Structure 1
Amino acid sequence: MKAVSPLVKQQVPISWSDDLSQLRREATVSHANGKWASAKKSFEQLVNKDGENFKNWLGLGECWLNLDDPVRAQEILRKAVALRPGDARARLQLGRALDRDGRRLGALHQWRTAKALKPRIELTSDERQRVAHSVDSFRKALGDNATHSIFLDISDVLRFLRRNLNLTGIQRVQVGVIVSVLQSHMAEGVQMGFCGRKIGTAHTVPLDLLSDLIDEVNHPKISRSRLNELLHAIAETSPEATFKDGDVFLTLGVFWIFTSYAKTITELKAQGVKIGVFVHDVIPLTHPDYFVFVHSIAYRVQFNRVMSIIDFACATSGYVASELKKAMTSKLKRSVPVISVPLAQELPHAVAAADAEFIAKLPREYVLSVGTLEIRKNHMLLLDVWAALHKKYNGKIPTLVLVGKWGWKIKPFRRALENSGFVDGKILVMGGISEARLAHLYRNCMFTVFPSFVEGWGLPVSESLAYGKPCITSKLSSMPEVGGALARYIDPFDTKAAQTTIERAIMDRTDLADWTKMVRRNFKVRSWAMVTDDLLAGVTRVADNLRHKGKATGKVPGKTSDVRTRAFS
């Protein structure tokens, strides 16, 4: 095993005072001299004989850390922290073990805690920089006059993770904001949590649990059992949030799947809390034919209830903001402030490499299309284009790789795809895949295609450009906002014209190379930190300007059944 530079520099030897003197002396001497393997053996014996002694666990954890086993070190150091939560050294070393394992949010939380417990604790230059960046930049973003606390409701993503490992569009947006808040906006003015079992209540998720949860979600070796353990701990231990008149409650995810949500926000509004929702799209309202009938009806019912209560809204694009205003005016005869907050266009941090087995099975050349396999994404156009090109060029075309879960109203496409033999094997369908595999697909594709009929944003377009890959996408709804001058646009209803555009990208390699260079040269990153800055600053400005015209009566329009009363169930 390669030598690892000690992470415990000439620490003051651990002192002992009980009956296990000889064993403790051996452990202390080996630990002080950096003989980690020898010290580990002694500390393991001490843990077995005296498992309630904090120093035994701390010493053992430091040994595992310096033996370059951060996973084992985490397990041991967590026990040390549990025995003595106020020990800065244990927090520091746990942070280092988490960081070594790629769990950056958990590491940052532990280092911040260590610094708060012992302001003069010795950190490395990288640790100091990361902690300094995270401390109270919320106030920098909002100014010193911010008077309202902001509660970010993340019930949706917590519920989603109970059933899924791989994030999809709206949940990825929420995680992007959560990561940014944890990294750069942790001040007293921001809380994150979920709607409680009792109507009208919410619970604040402890920062250590939330950091560990998001680290687990982003980890290449995500564990279903560990995820369940964290979600259970969050549901059972998160304290009830308290609100004062003028505070803000903003729902980051979907609002229409929680049937008791309208009652909860009515109760909160009655306390003087300003209520907002982050609207990702209103497509079930404006384009109901793309959805199963019962889903579009459920959305409409919840939209009318919730939008009759809120004080303001945020929207993922100018297009969504405009559609939301029109819908509220036409259906509810109501108007509220709507903040447009365009989403991020940046690469995920520290994504692990894809596994060799996956890479070996990929075609040599391929075009990528990412998105749920549902009627709205217009995969039938891609099937028709690939079938025509396959016939025209006698099969000598790149493979089309479709990445996404099977969705709704998609049976005709699926049947046609199967009947074509997946266009003689030139179309490859993948389900939900890991971030590592998705990143590899983006990095190594020729270009991407996304011919959706309508979107609220168009995350695959921004991701493609962020990876330096050209994108052919729809000219409708929000997609031109995302792609700007870097994407090429098609009419999603004109298959023949779309074929011409796609064929050119495939066959004219000089043009594709020039287009790729242009994307990489001119693409401007919009980070999740920027999104979160804009979101929190916009919400604070609106909250400062809003004046309630009397408190809500607590009555909800229409009848609301209390189906989902369990925490983020």
Structure 2
Amino acid sequence: MLQGLSVFPNAKKQQFIEYVKSGDAARDARAWERAIGNYQDALDVNPKAEGIWVQLGHAQKELGMFGKAEVSYKQALELNSNSDDTHTQLGHLFSVRGDVRNAVKHYRTAAGLGSKDPIVFSYLDSHASTVEHDQSDATAGGQAPIYFDYSDLVQYFRHNRFPTGIQRVQIELFKAAQEASFDVPIRACAFVEGADFWVEIDPIAFRRLCDLSSLPGETSDPVWGGALNQVLDSLSRRAAVRFPRGATLVNIGTSWWIKDYGAYIRQAKQKYGLRYVPFVHDLIPLITPEHCSKGLVEEFKAWIELVMLQADFIAVNSVNTKTDVVNYAETRKALDYDPQVVRLDAEFARSPAFAEDDGFVTDCGLVAGQYVLFVGTLESRKNHAGVFQAWKRMIAKRGIENTPMLVCVGKRGWLFDPANAVVESDSRLASKILTLSGISDDELASLYRGCLFTVYASHYEGWGLPVTESLSFGKVCLSANNSSLPEAGGKFADYFDNDSVSDLLRGLDKLISDETYRKSREAEIASQFRPRRWEELLRDLVGGVTNHFSKPAVKQQDETPVARVVPGVLYSLALDERMGENRAVAETMRHELTWHPLESWGCWAKSKTAKLAFKLSGDRTLSRDEFFIYMKLSCGPRPLTATFRLGVHVLGSVSLAVAAVEHVRFRAKRSWLADPEGKLYNVLAIDHSELTNLAQHSNGGDKRNIGVGFLEFGVCDPDDFEFRLEIMDRRDMRVV
């Protein structure tokens, strides 16, 4: 008998059955909006159908309508409070939402009612302890979780759909984390500007967005827009993460575009004892700055300097990148560990929705086996110019009819105009080059399957995903022989000197003309090349991080990471490349989020009591009882007065006129320091009588409240005349 329908006429029963059938069909097709409508229609006929309330909850949960899903599941419980399945589904829902307490509550009830679901018992084994203990002091199953920071990927999806290299790595590692089990809890988060902290990502909604990013479609597609808005809406509504003590944050993408990212890392370290592990994909802006914008070079330099000061451990994507990182660190302070290498020798991103036919190749006007594929951002570093020159010479040598098409796939990047000019100036060359941007993964897969072979001519890489992707499709890659590319291609790729167009042309000729050779290389790839699953890469990363922090000899950096100041050194916040390391030290002086983000000249105080924190470096000590503190300060659009304190000791008060920039010297005593030997940190507090509301001076355009501006800092002994003269030679000094 159909539940709750015993007193209904046959017509109602049949209507209910039809609605349920339609809902189930929509559910099986993952057409969740339609399923919701059908199940609601069925419940209008019979509101006592407990199982349909559960199905409605499933569909609502899939669309991220968690509040409505909770109501539906609880309605089912009102009809039958002893259903282990409904309690299990509520446990799943709260687990996805990050509500450990309620997830454990319903999973325990489900287990008590006889549930056999392994997820129930696995979750209880891992998370039950968090209900008895505060999350900040106890962690699940004795294992502190690892949070992966996908801020970069979330930001990318705001304006783009199809992933490039680093985004592809993040997507596949996220999917692997969702599909595999690990001894340590793995969670996903993103930095949210409104919350000014990290927020856990809704894994179901984010997975849906990642899956859609591999399929054809536009960013204007309502399905894509809805999935993106669901992720962003979830992030805006969730509370900031309370990192369990000893948790690790792995930044798998880039972060230098996030204002004050380093300051928030310091805050999380101080508040929660968070361990920070950046994944460094390359040092390209430092190694080949000629191929990067000036702004990117400056942002990256500032970021890597902070990494060297604040990272507890570093992961990299190749041995070559590891060497670059270690060498760079040695110019500052050598690392006391080896960065974890996570080789990106993974299979091409696969989706069960990928088309198996190669109609896209035909749609592009191409013939399978008659084109060479070059995948990479259209920018100067990828060396399209060199490949175009080789194609030009190939046409002259072989004739245009015997020269294959060159298909370049990638989004437009930095300094591509000179390479493009080579093509535009030669109509014969232009007829043999096809440039494609904004294509999906299944369309790219079609191009890989149909190509004769691939070419990759980059001047420098962190890994070189297109090389490995080519091999994944059984295609030979003719790769430049530099940086990490021999790691990506191994013995399966052919190589050329990318400073020599002639050498590139020789490699192209051999693969085009010598079919026997090319086929033998393809056979070698087919029989011996084994790309790894992304789960294996994630296990490398997770294992490397957990093993590093489990070593008895490893000491975590201070939970309150502050600047180590060397007496006799001037630290500046100005964007001056010559002072990159000193600027990073100056930035870490800013304490407890009491300062606004950095600007090109320095930064404004954010709080009525702004704080600078520092330790004295052991590299050089203060030898006198008295010492001097030097600061360069500025004032906003209103005059201000601020009092400066070192601990509880007042150094003096400073009044600044509108827009003034002044250099100030304070006297202090070593006995006022928390620890002259540098084991403890000192706080220099700046008390303002009031802050200036910039909205009143910018027609509402800038709503910040600001205090004093901070530009430079230094300490020295009174008899360090060289340092004092250096400062006084360049400045008018106010002595307080």
Shift of 1:506: 0.5
1:420 aligns with 2:426: yes
Spell out the pairing of 1:336-351 with structure 2 (5 A cutoff).
Answer: 336-349=337-350, 350-351=352-353
Shift of 1:77: 11
Aligned to 1:552: 560
1:369 aligns with 2:371: no
Shift of 1:83: 3.9
1:249 aligns with 2:236: no
Paired residue secondary structure (1:294): helix
Aligned to 1:259: 259
Q: As a proportion of its length, which structure holds more helix?
A: 1
CA gap 1:296/1:312 in 2 versus in 1, 3 angstroms: same
1:406 aligns with 2:390: no
Aligned residues between the structures:
517
Aligned to 1:389: 394
CA gap 1:307/1:77 in 2 versus in 1, 3 angstroms: closer
Shift of 1:240: 2.1
- Residues 136 and 186 in structure 1, CA contact (< 8 A), matched pair in contact too: no
> Aligned equivalents of 2:307 and 2:344: distance in 1?
23
The AA in structure 2 aligned to 1:371 is: G
The AA in structure 1 aligned to 2:44 is: D
1:175 aligns with 2:171: yes
Spell out the pairing of 1:226-245 with structure 2 (5 A cutoff).
Answer: 226-245=226-245
Aligned to 2:13: 25
Aligned to 2:363: 360
CA gap 1:518/1:419 in 2 versus in 1, 3 angstroms: same
> Aligned equivalents of 1:28 and 1:380: distance in 2?
66
- Residues 201 and 234 in structure 2, CA contact (< 8 A), matched pair in contact too: yes
CA gap 1:302/1:460 in 2 versus in 1, 3 angstroms: same
* 1:487-542 Cα deviation digits (max 9, x unpaired): 11111101101100111100111211111111111111211000001110110111
- Residues 39 and 55 in structure 2, CA contact (< 8 A), matched pair in contact too: no
**Segment of structure 1 superposing worse, 501-510 or 236-245:** 236-245
The AA in structure 2 aligned to 1:378 is: N
- Residues 151 and 190 in structure 2, CA contact (< 8 A), matched pair in contact too: yes
Please point out which of 460, 473, 482 is paired with 2:479. 473
CA gap 1:542/1:45 in 2 versus in 1, 3 angstroms: closer
- Residues 58 and 80 in structure 1, CA contact (< 8 A), matched pair in contact too: no
> Aligned equivalents of 2:64 and 2:281: distance in 1?
42
The AA in structure 1 aligned to 2:512 is: I
Paired residue secondary structure (2:586): coil
Paired residue secondary structure (1:193): strand
Shift of 1:59: 8.2
> Aligned equivalents of 2:145 and 2:164: distance in 1?
29
1:562 aligns with 2:597: yes
> Aligned equivalents of 1:512 and 1:277: distance in 2?
40
> Aligned equivalents of 2:597 and 2:206: distance in 1?
27
- Residues 410 and 438 in structure 2, CA contact (< 8 A), matched pair in contact too: yes
Shift of 1:197: 3.1
> Aligned equivalents of 2:12 and 2:110: distance in 1?
26
CA gap 1:490/1:357 in 2 versus in 1, 3 angstroms: closer
Shift of 1:344: 3.8
Paired residue secondary structure (1:320): helix
Shift of 1:277: 0.3
- Residues 200 and 265 in structure 1, CA contact (< 8 A), matched pair in contact too: no
CA gap 1:25/1:117 in 2 versus in 1, 3 angstroms: farther
Instruction: Give the TM-score taking structure 1 as reference length.
Output: 0.79
Shift of 1:74: 7.0
- Residues 148 and 543 in structure 1, CA contact (< 8 A), matched pair in contact too: no
Shift of 1:29: 5.5
> Aligned equivalents of 2:88 and 2:437: distance in 1?
40
Shift of 1:217: 2.6
1:193 aligns with 2:189: yes
Shift of 1:421: 2.5
Aligned to 1:151: 147
Aligned to 1:318: 319
> Aligned equivalents of 2:109 and 2:203: distance in 1?
16
Aligned to 1:307: 308
The AA in structure 2 aligned to 1:501 is: G
Aligned to 2:213: 217
Shift of 1:55: 4.2
Spell out the pairing of 1:508-523 with structure 2 (5 A cutoff).
Answer: 508-523=514-529
Shift of 1:295: 1.4
- Residues 370 and 404 in structure 1, CA contact (< 8 A), matched pair in contact too: yes
Shift of 1:201: 2.9
1:538 aligns with 2:539: no
Paired residue secondary structure (1:249): strand
Aligned to 2:52: 58
- Residues 490 and 501 in structure 1, CA contact (< 8 A), matched pair in contact too: yes
* 1:416-464 Cα deviation digits (max 9, x unpaired): 1111236041111001210111000001111100011110000000100
Spell out the pairing of 1:62-141 with structure 2 (5 A cutoff).
Answer: 81=69, 83-85=71-73
- Residues 329 and 335 in structure 1, CA contact (< 8 A), matched pair in contact too: no
CA gap 1:36/1:284 in 2 versus in 1, 3 angstroms: closer
CA gap 1:53/1:563 in 2 versus in 1, 3 angstroms: farther
Shift of 1:394: 1.4
- Residues 361 and 450 in structure 2, CA contact (< 8 A), matched pair in contact too: no
- Residues 474 and 491 in structure 1, CA contact (< 8 A), matched pair in contact too: yes
- Residues 14 and 28 in structure 1, CA contact (< 8 A), matched pair in contact too: no
The AA in structure 1 aligned to 2:391 is: W
* 1:118-163 Cα deviation digits (max 9, x unpaired): 677799xxxx9xx89x989999xxxx99732211111110111111
- Residues 137 and 184 in structure 1, CA contact (< 8 A), matched pair in contact too: no
Paired residue secondary structure (1:245): coil
The AA in structure 1 aligned to 2:366 is: P
CA gap 1:236/1:505 in 2 versus in 1, 3 angstroms: same
Aligned to 1:13: 2
- Residues 314 and 339 in structure 1, CA contact (< 8 A), matched pair in contact too: yes
- Residues 191 and 198 in structure 2, CA contact (< 8 A), matched pair in contact too: yes
The AA in structure 1 aligned to 2:487 is: E
Aligned to 2:641: none
**Segment of structure 1 superposing worse, 184-193 or 273-282:** 184-193
1:380 aligns with 2:380: no
Shift of 1:16: 4.6
> Aligned equivalents of 1:280 and 1:536: distance in 2?
16
> Aligned equivalents of 1:268 and 1:33: distance in 2?
51
CA gap 1:446/1:375 in 2 versus in 1, 3 angstroms: same
CA gap 1:50/1:258 in 2 versus in 1, 3 angstroms: same
Instruction: Give the TM-score taking structure 2 as reference length.
Output: 0.62
Shift of 1:208: 2.6
The AA in structure 1 aligned to 2:364 is: K
The AA in structure 1 aligned to 2:322 is: A
Shift of 1:185: 3.1
Percent identical among aligned pairs is: 23
Paired residue secondary structure (2:314): strand
Shift of 1:225: 1.4
The AA in structure 2 aligned to 1:84 is: S
Shift of 1:15: 2.1
In structure 2, stretches of 5+ residues that fail to align are: 26-33, 77-83, 90-95, 97-104, 128-139, 564-583, 588-594, 600-605, 607-736
* 1:81-105 Cα deviation digits (max 9, x unpaired): 4542466878999xxxxxxxxxxx9
> Aligned equivalents of 2:40 and 2:377: distance in 1?
54
Paired residue secondary structure (1:558): helix
The AA in structure 2 aligned to 1:363 is: L
Q: As a proportion of its length, which structure holds more strand?
A: 2
Shift of 1:557: 2.7
- Residues 87 and 110 in structure 2, CA contact (< 8 A), matched pair in contact too: no
> Aligned equivalents of 1:379 and 1:167: distance in 2?
20
In structure 1, stretches of 5+ residues that fail to align are: 1-11, 66-70, 94-104, 106-112
Please point out which of 41, 49, 52 is paired with 1:47. 41
